[in-house]
Structure 1
């Protein structure tokens, strides 16, 4: 006899083709019904509230008087909540966001008085190989998942899943989804007509006689009559024993069978049984870029600055920062961050992220202002504060915006030595629009707005150093500006010949022709999936270069390129091979004199529809695999997925195309030759089927539908709804930023340090004495340079923040590569205790940090 564990639940999409305003109204009535049913019949339950505490937060907004009823049922174990704050996507959002999602979910569960200790992930569009790591860091040793699994990955629906660094969880798959037993008849005779087929499918891949039967669906009400119906079936048949259960009870029963489980390592991206929608990695790229900018700025710039200021005596606005994270996470669900929504919803997702970035930048500016206020500089002039979030001393080129009425100025360090700088761009600025003191002036005050690169040496670890702007004085060094025919430094040379770029790595003498070529092709898909037209017509940047200018300057060599690319304006024109549109692209490539990378900025005026624009990085090596980063780690992937050979014959739901997610990095290399692309917010790349030695980074894709049926790579029904989504064509200006790093010595320590420095820049602030907002003096005094701690090791910096509880700081890094790294204790003037992502003590600390593993320290003051 098989035991069937009835799992009653609802899956709660906060937004999709409807808005969060719609779902919050529906939630009010759903929760009122659920509470009443559970109170009227004490035999009902437990009920799983989708594993995300934001549902309770939303309900409290519309029904705050119901808190006691909800809390009582949670205490009784009849409503199960957590462990997540929101049901996040794991392939598009950042590692710190995933960690904070669990951290805030844990805080909410502690407040409500109960948590479901299961990593329930019912609808993420694919599963990260690192999910077991995150769960184990929060003391969770089992997971329930849906999309992405098939028997080619692991033969059974129960297995031990091991993350890159070795952390494992017992995992159960819902092979037919969380809605496979939705809307069951409450009449036992009618139920027997439908249940056998459902249960046979549930048992198809199971190793034991313990089966899961999830009863619920999207925004679906409590099916309170089902338990009694199943009780009646227990009296009528002997094949199955139905029991009211939950995931914890299921895993206890699974372990009690003592059945050996297979072990699996890796990500789960198979679309054999259910679509994973690989197109979401690049849908609504404006939202993806904004989210990545917010995540990186908050965790690696704002929070470290606030941590430094807290140690200096300034208040840490913890709730304000938490609010930023919570609002961002409301945009991190699979539909929301995926961009596979109605246009109205996408506008709300973008607005939340924009609001968060505005708040974060205001916090940064005010804290830099308060920091500068307390510093007595050693040199005359206006104070410039350069902040380095990395936990090691570094030299850097810092982007800084200056406002000055003077034609000349110099910048000196704290010893009075002139610093070199390079003007990037200059525009006139009406100061009354940005300075409160001038806002009511009857005259206009015009200044020069100068964006510069400032060369700074020995910036303190997790700290700042003070420089001075001295206006009306010569720069103190000879500006170097001359036209040249190539970009060149000690490591690299980039040449433009006949409109094509060739990069040479002077360390290895390896040449990379046709680099950074633009390729525009059709996209006949929707918000969920890229779909190539039946007969695509690709347009490239070849022969379309209209202007180029190469300059050698003080700190960087710069090559600017402008293309006017005739292209089809839409799908119909592409099918007719008609170039009736124009794609205008500007590219600025900078080669720092002191760094082995190309810094690339691309500006696109998107006037086309139904297309995808990529930038190609040809590596020119033939091998079967490549690498990309994943949350807190690195993953190896096939250049050409083996599943492409049989997906159509087996009627998969979607093509297992070589479209992949990344956090920010993809590389293809062997021992002597290779290239790495590091991006600022671009999340998708492709290894083209006919060019397995080429990395194609997707810049944008434009489509006009939420869902479409019968796509070549996704046959059958439409995903979502067949709903026009014209704003997903994303017309207008778009800016992209990436770096290209040649890999002369593979994944060397020097390579990884360069990646970290590009991904985590230092920041600058000019204390002009003016401000948009006035604040009273705080009366504190600070040194002109300061370091809160040092942690000079090969781990990559993730964050420095205030602890969730207590006046402690949390410092975190992770091993980005494929080999173990030494475990180094931070140099700090207090005790440093290793902790988990949940900020709980680690029992035993290894001498090394495994690949793909974070290491966190708590420092109490």
Structure 2
């Protein structure tokens, strides 16, 4: 006899085609009804509140007086909550965001008095290979998932899932989803006609006699009559024994069954039984780029600065930072960050991220001002504070904005040595728009606003160094900005040429040539917010032959090409179908070659005036092999260029094509021991390995579509996903900026290569203490050194964050292994007491060796 575990739950999308405002009102009535039912019948429960504590937060906003009542039911274990704060996406959202999601979710659960120790992920659009690692770092030994699994990955719906770090969790799949047993009849006669088919499907891939039966759906009310109905069925038949259960009880019964489960490692992206929406990674790129900007700014600039200031005696605004994270996470659910929402919801997602970035920028500005105010100057001039978050000393080129009324200026370090700098852009600035105290002036104060690239050397690890702006003095070095009619840029490592509008990159270290690199290709997109879909008869246009002009710039720190394309293109899907070139794509590209680095820095500006299309940029790798590498949260993953399942998906009637559209955090590369190409991006999350040329990476810049959902797409046959709802804002008309780097490889994944990747991904940053500010503050009486380093941790691990600990007065330093090989490391060098901890900030064993795809965290008190 099979034991059927009834799991009563609701799946709570905070927003989708409806807004979070709609959701909160529905939640008010849902929660009141749930609590009433549980209190009236003490035999009912447990009920799973979708594994995310934000539902409780939302409910208390509309029903604050219900807190004690709700807490009592949670403590009794009749409402199961957590462990997540929100049901986050795992393929688009950053690693630190995922870690903080669990950290804050468990903190909420402690406040409420209980939590569900199961990594419940009911609706993420595919599953990261890193999920077992994240869960084990929080001492969670079980996972329940839905999308992305099929029996070609692992034969049964229960298995041991092992990450490359060595962490593993016992996993159960809901092969037919969290809503497979929704809206069950409340009488046995009707239920006995409905349940057999459901139970047969649920048992089809089960590894034991223990079967999950999830009873609930999207925003669905508590089906309180189902347990009593199933009790009656227990008396009427002998094939199944129904029990009220929880995921924890299910895993206990599974373990007691003595079944040896199969093992699996890797990501789960198979859309055989349910769509994973490959193509979501490039929907609403404006939202994706904004999210990455916020994540990286907070974790790699703001929090490290606040940590240093805290050690120097300034307060740490922990609640303010936590609120920024929480607001961001409310935009991290699969629909929200995926952009597969109504236009109104997408505008709210974007607003939350924009609000978070505004708050974070204000926190950084005020804390830089407080830091600068305590530094005793040893040189004349205005202080420029240059901050290095990385835990090793470095030289860097710092992008900084200077405001000055003078025609000339000079920058010197704390030893009085003249620094080199390069003027990137200049424009006049009305200072009353920046400085509050000038707003009521009867005259306008005009300054030069100068975007400058500053060469800063010997920056302390996890610390800062003070430089000085001397206004009215000459720069004291040659700074001619020469614009020449030349077609070659070159440093000691690389050479790039432009001939007949095409670019060729030469790696001088191995004489490898990469021809026609950075070619722009635009094709149709007949898809929706969920999926890219090629038109039945696509017509591609490219940048070939449409270069309008280019300039070659010679300057003190970097040389550059500036190229402008005016590309004839179809205006919309109808024009593309008819091969009409009735519009233009205006695209500008700046290719910078630093004098001191072996990479190309690429900035692209697109004026998107057309619709129903996808714009990609092609980077040949000259690598003839069937696999490549990309990064995932806290690690690297090896992927096949073309999924083998492409050969049989149609024959097996998969719900969606397993296309070669792939997610990344910021990096993708193809290489061997002698040559190859690595792309490192700032926010771009999608790439493709074209079937017709597998020695090329096609980086997606943007997709423009006009529908939330559509039916019968080429790569997604059948019903529409979501709602058939117009979404004109998803055409994302207007100006868009993209930034990435091309790093040629000449000796594989060498430590020098990884150090270059880290330096590009985590730039140092600066602040001019002009003496003016938007808001006035009383000065503090603390005194700070002119140069300061909190700690040193110079190893092959990549920096992730330096932050205040969640529950104690201590700091957390985190790094992670970016490579596919284990890395040895020593503890950080500091005068602060340290101990190694998990992502949950609990003590763990210091092994001294980081496994692949593994974070390493230190608690410093």
Judge same fold: TM > 0.5, yes or no: yes
Cα distance between partner residues in 2 of 1:334 and 1:6: 26
Contact 2:585/2:608 (<8 A) preserved: yes
Structure 2 partner of 1:847 = 848
* 2:285 is equivalent to residue 300 of structure 1: no
- Note the C-alpha offset of 1:804: 0.2
Structure 2 partner of 1:721 = 723
Structure 2 partner of 1:358 = 358
TM-score norm. by structure 1 comes to: 0.99
Cα distance between partner residues in 2 of 1:610 and 1:328: 29
Structure 2 partner of 1:815 = 817
Structure 1 partner of 2:179 = 179
Deviations along 1:536-558, whole A, 9 cap, x unmatched?
A: 00000000000100122100011
Structure 2 partner of 1:857 = 858
Cα distance between partner residues in 2 of 1:833 and 1:686: 42
Structure 2 partner of 1:829 = 831
Structure 2 partner of 1:44 = 44
Cα distance between partner residues in 2 of 1:169 and 1:189: 39
* 2:29 is equivalent to residue 29 of structure 1: yes
Structure 1 partner of 2:144 = 144
Q: Within 5 A, what are the aligned runs for 1:283-362?
A: 283-362=283-362
Structure 2 partner of 1:404 = 404
Q: Within 5 A, what are the aligned runs for 1:800-811?
A: 800-811=802-813
Contact 2:87/2:332 (<8 A) preserved: yes
Helix, strand or coil at the partner of 1:514: strand
Helix, strand or coil at the partner of 1:278: coil
- Note the C-alpha offset of 1:376: 1.2
Cα distance between partner residues in 2 of 1:708 and 1:818: 40
Deviations along 1:200-221, whole A, 9 cap, x unmatched?
A: 0001011100000000000000
- Note the C-alpha offset of 1:480: 4.2
Structure 2 partner of 1:551 = 553
- Note the C-alpha offset of 1:343: 0.1
Helix, strand or coil at the partner of 1:133: helix
Structure 1 partner of 2:606 = 604
Cα distance between partner residues in 2 of 1:133 and 1:857: 17
* 2:14 is equivalent to residue 14 of structure 1: yes
Count of residue pairs brought into register by the alignment: 859
Cα distance between partner residues in 2 of 1:530 and 1:793: 41
- Note the C-alpha offset of 1:779: 1.1
Deviations along 1:22-62, whole A, 9 cap, x unmatched?
A: 00000000000000000000000000000000000000000
Deviation >4 Å, runs of 4+: none
Q: Within 5 A, what are the aligned runs for 1:700-715?
A: 700-715=702-717
Helix, strand or coil at the partner of 2:96: helix
Contact 1:386/1:765 (<8 A) preserved: yes
Contact 2:796/2:825 (<8 A) preserved: no
Contact 2:501/2:544 (<8 A) preserved: yes
Cα distance between partner residues in 2 of 1:822 and 1:638: 28
Contact 1:524/1:703 (<8 A) preserved: yes
RMSD (Å), alpha carbons? 0.6
Contact 2:395/2:458 (<8 A) preserved: yes
Cα distance between partner residues in 1 of 2:386 and 2:832: 25
- Note the C-alpha offset of 1:65: 0.5
Q: Within 5 A, what are the aligned runs for 1:583-594?
A: 583-594=585-596
Deviations along 1:136-155, whole A, 9 cap, x unmatched?
A: 00000010000000011101
Structure 2 partner of 1:420 = 420
Q: Within 5 A, what are the aligned runs for 1:335-734?
A: 335-482=335-482, 483=484, 484-734=486-736
Cα distance between partner residues in 1 of 2:481 and 2:403: 22
Contact 1:823/1:846 (<8 A) preserved: no
Q: Tell me, which stretches of 5 or more residues in structure 2 are unaligned?
A: none
Contact 1:127/1:267 (<8 A) preserved: yes
Cα distance between partner residues in 2 of 1:480 and 1:513: 31
Cα distance between partner residues in 2 of 1:116 and 1:486: 61
- Note the C-alpha offset of 1:622: 1.3
Deviations along 1:429-453, whole A, 9 cap, x unmatched?
A: 1111101121111111111100010
- Note the C-alpha offset of 1:424: 0.4
Helix, strand or coil at the partner of 1:211: strand
Structure 1 partner of 2:796 = 794
Contact 2:283/2:530 (<8 A) preserved: yes
Q: Within 5 A, what are the aligned runs for 1:258-277?
A: 258-277=258-277
- Note the C-alpha offset of 1:808: 0.0
Deviations along 1:467-523, whole A, 9 cap, x unmatched?
A: 000011110111143324311111000100110000000001101011111000000
TM-score norm. by structure 2 comes to: 0.99
- Note the C-alpha offset of 1:823: 2.5
- Note the C-alpha offset of 1:174: 0.2
- Note the C-alpha offset of 1:845: 2.0
Cα distance between partner residues in 1 of 2:810 and 2:763: 25
Cα distance between partner residues in 1 of 2:326 and 2:520: 37
- Note the C-alpha offset of 1:349: 0.1
- Note the C-alpha offset of 1:18: 0.1
Structure 2 partner of 1:78 = 78
Deviations along 1:140-180, whole A, 9 cap, x unmatched?
A: 00100000000111011000001121100000000000000
Q: Within 5 A, what are the aligned runs for 1:95-106?
A: 95-106=95-106
Cα distance between partner residues in 2 of 1:593 and 1:832: 39
Cα distance between partner residues in 1 of 2:567 and 2:373: 51
- Note the C-alpha offset of 1:258: 1.2
Cα distance between partner residues in 1 of 2:185 and 2:3: 20
Contact 2:487/2:499 (<8 A) preserved: no
- Note the C-alpha offset of 1:532: 0.2
Contact 2:502/2:517 (<8 A) preserved: yes
Q: Within 5 A, what are the aligned runs for 1:213-224?
A: 213-224=213-224
Cα distance between partner residues in 2 of 1:671 and 1:705: 45
Cα distance between partner residues in 2 of 1:395 and 1:487: 22
Structure 2 partner of 1:231 = 231
Structure 2 partner of 1:205 = 205
- Note the C-alpha offset of 1:831: 1.5
Q: Tell me, which stretches of 5 or more residues in structure 1 are unaligned?
A: none
Cα distance between partner residues in 2 of 1:779 and 1:546: 58
Contact 1:17/1:345 (<8 A) preserved: yes
* 2:770 is equivalent to residue 754 of structure 1: no
Contact 1:83/1:117 (<8 A) preserved: yes
Contact 1:86/1:330 (<8 A) preserved: yes
Deviations along 1:727-768, whole A, 9 cap, x unmatched?
A: 000000000000000011111100100000000000110000
* 2:742 is equivalent to residue 740 of structure 1: yes
Cα distance between partner residues in 2 of 1:757 and 1:333: 30
Helix, strand or coil at the partner of 2:517: coil
Cα distance between partner residues in 1 of 2:490 and 2:526: 41
- Note the C-alpha offset of 1:563: 0.1
Contact 2:17/2:723 (<8 A) preserved: yes
Deviations along 1:613-632, whole A, 9 cap, x unmatched?
A: 00111112211000000000
Cα distance between partner residues in 1 of 2:562 and 2:749: 30
Cα distance between partner residues in 2 of 1:438 and 1:164: 57
Structure 2 partner of 1:785 = 787
Contact 1:633/1:814 (<8 A) preserved: yes
Deviations along 1:700-749, whole A, 9 cap, x unmatched?
A: 00000000001110000000000000000000000000000001111110
Deviations along 1:757-792, whole A, 9 cap, x unmatched?
A: 000000110000000000000111111010111111
Deviations along 1:554-603, whole A, 9 cap, x unmatched?
A: 00011100000000010000000000010000000111000110000000
Contact 2:791/2:829 (<8 A) preserved: yes
- Note the C-alpha offset of 1:847: 2.7
Cα distance between partner residues in 2 of 1:156 and 1:93: 29
